[in-house]
Each structure stands twice: as structure tokens, then as C-alpha cells.
Chain A
Amino acid sequence: MNDHAAAVITHEGLGGLIAGLRAEGFRVIGPRLRDQAIVYDDIESVADLPAGWTDEQEGGHYRVRRREDAALFGYNVGPHAWKRFLHPPLLRLWRAERSADGMTVTATSEPAERYAFLAVRSCELHAIAIQDRVFLQGPYVDPHYKARREGAFIVAVNCGQAGGTCFCTSMNTGPKAEEGFDLSLTELLGDRHEFLVEVGSERGAALLAAVPHRPAERQDAAQAANAVARAEGNMGRHMRSDDVRELLLANLEHPRWDDVAERCLTCGNCTMVCPTCFCTAVEDENDLAGNAAERKRRWDSCFTMDFSYIHGGSVRSSGRSRYRQWMTHKLANWVDQFGTSGCVGCGRCITWCPVGIDITEEVRAIRGEGGSDGRA
């Protein structure tokens, strides 16, 4: 890391961080309560944060609920992931026009925003690092992701509690934010509601220096460590992950794939909420006169029939093969493709599956430890 000492700020300091980022021209995105869920949206001040709200999560179940305190970050992760900003759900790529001697093509994508993300969880930092590998570290770079990602300012937040479907400890992705942030916050709840701030970069240090703060004392650090330990201790789910790649690759014909196929609706919700899923399709549109055409890129899901269509039919026409594709991609093939698992244990796919299919439970069943539900 670096040698900047940790500091403690109050609501006033936090407001200063937000204002400072906005003054620098960043579009600050953070958690907000909207339509009965905590989502990521524009933040203008501390007042926009979901003070006193938490979320209740189980397989196929999500509900926001009042807390007994006024914690600003006392929830876990919701239906949104930061990928919706770095890797937009819909993007215009280019426009083609007919010209006298053929056609011309011009790039039409909107200029990228300069984002500052407020309250990025450790699992989400890992998810961003995974998408960095996909979009920035292969033979071809996605310029749209690169432009959004490069200047982005990241304020992480450490979890003080785990959600009902969380299993970051199983995937070694949390709950403490270790790297990949400019600043990291730990909410200190108690008589004095404060935030311990750790510094991850020079520009993080510069931003912190400009807001009211005091040096962190030993008891602040101890209280922050306690909060993280509490989260570590109440993970809603667990999954043995050290050998899961080998386990799945050795069981591509396991009867459990038929079993899960009977439950799965192939709706693709799991792929939409997953912070690492990156697949896209392209769409071509014509104007009415047929003189101009536009090409767009849209999030896609391996659960659709079109996804694997080649002339004559879809390669993966059964639900069984599509669930198998998704899960083996996340937990096994991803390792071969990108040198890392594609799952960070955020639990979103479990929470937002309409029928509560649980990736940790499916792994357990293939391991031959079926029968038990996914709960820790």
C-alpha cells in the first residue's frame, strides 16, 4: 500500500469528499434508496445516501428494511453493479451512411463520463479487477471500458455485516478492501458516528487532505477491525472454491445439471446482476429511407437461445447446457481464459434468481454433498 496514515472523518468530512469530487468534475455515483432497493445513482450530498436502511437477502428474496441506527452504509449489495457505468448496458458504436461511391462509417459513442464511485465493496473491487482483465488485458482492448475506467476515482467501503447470500470469504474477495481504491471507508457506529479513512493513492491523499479530519487512533482502528471481523463471521453462504474448477470440469455430464434445468427459467437475471458477466450482442438499425444504419452494443446473456445460434440451430438449445455454460464459465473456464475465477461471491445471482437457485448449493450438490440447502 503506501505510507499515508489513516484518518477519521465525520459526516462533514464525508460531505467534503463528495463536494470535492464534484468540484473536480467527477460524476459521483453512490448508493441511493429507490423503488424499494438500494441502487447506484448520482449523489450530490450525504443526504442522498440511504441513512438508516439495510437490506434483507435470501435465495430469490430481497427487501429493504429500517435499521435501528443511522448507518449510511449498513446494507450489502443490491441489484446494481458498477459495471453498468464502466460497461454500459447499451452503447452506440458507429453509424454507417450511404455515400456517392459506397458507404462511410463514423464512430458515434458518446464521450465517456469521469466517474467517482462512492461505497464500492471489496467483492466489487475484485469484480472490477476481473473486468479489467477481460477488457484491458487481452489482445484487444475495449476502448469504451478503458475510457470510463482509467480516470475513475474509487471510494471503497468495508462491510460491517454480511448479507444473507454473501460468500466473499469463500472466494477470497473480502470483506476488507485491500487494494484497487483511492480511499477506503469503514463506518464507525457508536456514540460518535464517524468513518475511518484509509488512503490507497496519491490523489486519494490529496482529496482527504482538503477535508476536515483527525488522525486515526488505535481504538478507531480496533473498532474498524471489529466491524470487518463481524462481517467475516456472518457470511450467509459458503462455497469450497480451491478445487471447484477441477470439480466442475470433471462433472460436465453430472445428473445435477438436469436437476437444476428443471428449476431454472433461463430468464438470465443472474447474468444481468452479476458484476463480472460481460457478454454483449450487437444490433443493427436502419433509418426508414435506408440511407443510414446504426450499430449498437447491448448486454447479452448466455441463457438466451440466440446467444449460441449458428445456422441450423443453437449450439446450446437445452436449459441444462445453458445453466452449465454459465456456471462452468464463472467457476472454471474463466480461470483458463483470464487467470482468475469469474465469481466474487457477491450473492447477487442467488438473491435475484426468481426461483432462488443458489450457485453454492449447486456446487455442493455436484460435490456429492447434496441435500443440504445453501445456507452456511
Chain B
Amino acid sequence: MDRLGERAPVMAPDAMLPLIARVARRVRELPDTWTLDLVAADGGPLMRYAPGQFTMMYAFGVGEIPVSVSGDAADQTRLVQTVRAVGKVSEAVTRLAAGDTLGLRGPYGTAWPVAEGYGRDVVVVAGGLGLAPLRPALYQLQAERKRFGKLVLLYGTRRPEDILFRRQLANWRRQLDMEIEVTVDHAGAAWRGHVGVVTRLIPRLGIDVDNAMALVCGPEVMMRFAASALNDIGVPEEAIHLSLERNMKCAVGLCGHCQFAGSFVCKDGAVMRYDKVRRLLGLKEI
């Protein structure tokens, strides 16, 4: 009865096992938001990733959270992530100092389809911290500037003090041949820019809507209104890309937490095409 014996159970490597990363540099962006440059524990490169992807960051004994890459994918010597401290894990992660270690899994998820914008106008719409996951796409637009038509970044935050990557925005505006419009919800008298929600800037966009692509990241309501406004001025649904957010425990399609109807945001997203999610975004509590 030898054939019954077959093989004994073997355990394949587990995607849930984190690798160990080390903080090489920590920069305060805003009072509650920090950018970490990460390398492998031995100082070497960590992982290859594409703009729009995210990792699972594990703070020792506290927990694990999804965080998008915010650095330049062309520089694979370090992994750059920008985290806002909002709760227990993100607070622990942002408290890590240079030299400290953390667990890291990934990269996961879909990428911003930047190359689809070759030969077209590209509009980037960011709300609040949503600028961080879009920054890798902006780096790529910058690196390949000649391949795109008109570039526009529309960025909305609550108050002028909440503007992220302020210096870099100024540099890009100067060097990049990119139109950058910043708007805030509330501002004092010193603010000379736009006031109001970012979607209000969309009808005034001077782009070739039939030949344009849009990348949108921010709170879900903001993305819903922005995508719909872009579509209203003529940008096709298939040319609008959003980055969705759902609770995530595994990031590998196995825990069920990130479901968005028939999709798993961790593997079918986080970047998803508007035409695939438009109807569901209009419903509550999906």
C-alpha cells in the first residue's frame, strides 16, 4: 500500500512573512506626516516596485498597515514611503528613527499606467495625503517629460499649512513645464491661491480631453467627484485611474478584507480604472 503514503506535507514559503528593513532617513513633512527612506537590514536595496504600488509595513509588536510608495521608482536603492500618523500602527511607524528596523512585505498591487499617457495630455488630481502615492508617477512624468503633451497637477488640501512636498512642488513648477494648481478648503488672508474643493478646477482645464489621461488619488468622495467632473468635460472613463482604499490584512488576495464587490483592492487595485468602479462608487457602503 505504498502509494497511499505519497509525500509528507511540505510548507512552502509564506507570503505573510515580512523581510526586515532599516530606516536610512526620516524626514518630517508635516507635523503628523513623515517620509521614511528604507533599505534592507544589511543596507542593500529592498525591492523593485512600480509607481502606485504599496507595501505592508510592520511595526514590532504593534501591527501591519498598507502604505503606498512615494519615492522615485527609478532609484531602486531605497524605498521611500510617506506616512501620516492617524492611529496605533502609523504612529509607531512614524516614530521609527534612522537605524531602526521594521518588517516589510511587498510590493503589492497595480501600478499607475503612466506609459499609457505617452503622446497625450496628463492630468494628476491629488487630495490631501493622496499626493504621496502619486509622487512616483510625477517622478516618471518628469523623467520622460518629452513623451507627454500638456501636464497638469491639481492638488487640494484643507489648509495652506497642510501642503505636502511644498519645495518639490515649487521646483517642479519651475523646471517641469507643468501647470500646478493648488487649492485649499480654508485659508487666511495671506493665501493668494485658489480656495474651494479641487474638483472646481476641473472644468477650467485647458487640455485635449479626447487625448488625455487622468490619475486621481485622495479621499473616496473626492475621487468620485473628481472622476465624474473629468468625465463631464470629456475625458473618457477608461482614461481615468483611481487608487482605492480598503482595510487590508494580507495584501495577497487571501484574507478577504479589501473586497470591493467583485474585486480585491489589494490585487486588482489599488489603482483601478474608473469605468470598472464608477457604478459602485455611487453606492453607499460597498
Contacts and interface: CB of A to CB of B under 8 A. Distances in A.
Contacts of B250: 280, 282
User: For the complex, would chain A's binding face be called helix, strand, loop or mixed by DSSP majority?
Assistant: mixed
A282 B64 contact: yes
Nearest to A98: B60
Interface string B100-115: 1101000000000000
B274 interface: no
B149 interface: no
Interface string B165-209: 000000000000000000000000000000000000000000000
A140 B246 CA distance: 19
Contacts of B15: 140-141
Contact of A111 (B11, B247, B262): B11
Interface in A101-151: 101-105, 107, 109, 111-114, 134-135, 138-144, 146-148, 150-151
Interface in B1-58: 1-20, 22, 41, 58
Nearest to B23: A102
Contacts of A25: 5
Contacts of B100: 102
Interface stretch (B72-80, B234-242, B251-259): B251-259
Contact of A144 (B1, B14, B41, B262): B14
Interface stretch (A47-55, A171-179, A308-316): A308-316
A20 B107 CA distance: 47
Given A104-B20, A310-B246, A321 B14 contact: no
B254 A278 contact: yes
A333 B20 contact: no
Contacts of B12: 141, 143, 146-147
Contact of A206 (B3, B16, B64, B245): B3
Contacts of B255: 279-282, 300
A135 B62 CA distance: 27
Interface string A7-36: 000000000000011001110000000000
Nearest to B5: A24
A253 B283 contact: yes
Interface residues of A, number: 75
Q: Which of A113, A203, A332: most chain B Cβ within 10 A?
A: A203
A238 interface: no
A303 to B, nearest CB: 12
A302 B103 CA distance: 27
**For the complex of A and B, 9 pairs with smallest distance between CB atoms:** A336-B262, A102-B101, A279-B256, A321-B285, A293-B61, A140-B252, A112-B9, A143-B12, A147-B9
Given A140-B15, A141-B12, A284 B63 contact: yes
A144 B13 CA distance: 9
Interface in A307-356: 307-311, 315-318, 320-321, 325, 328-329, 332-333, 335-337
A216 interface: no
14 contacts: A93-B16, A93-B17, A107-B17, A111-B11, A134-B254, A139-B252, A143-B12, A144-B11, A146-B12, A210-B1, A282-B64, A282-B250, A311-B86, A337-B264
B249 interface: yes
A280 B254 contact: yes
A20 B1 CA distance: 9
B243 to A, nearest CB: 13
Contacts of A56: none
B4 A203 contact: yes
B246 A113 contact: no
A109 B14 CA distance: 10
Interface in B66-95: 86-87
A93 B16 CA distance: 8
B285 A278 contact: no
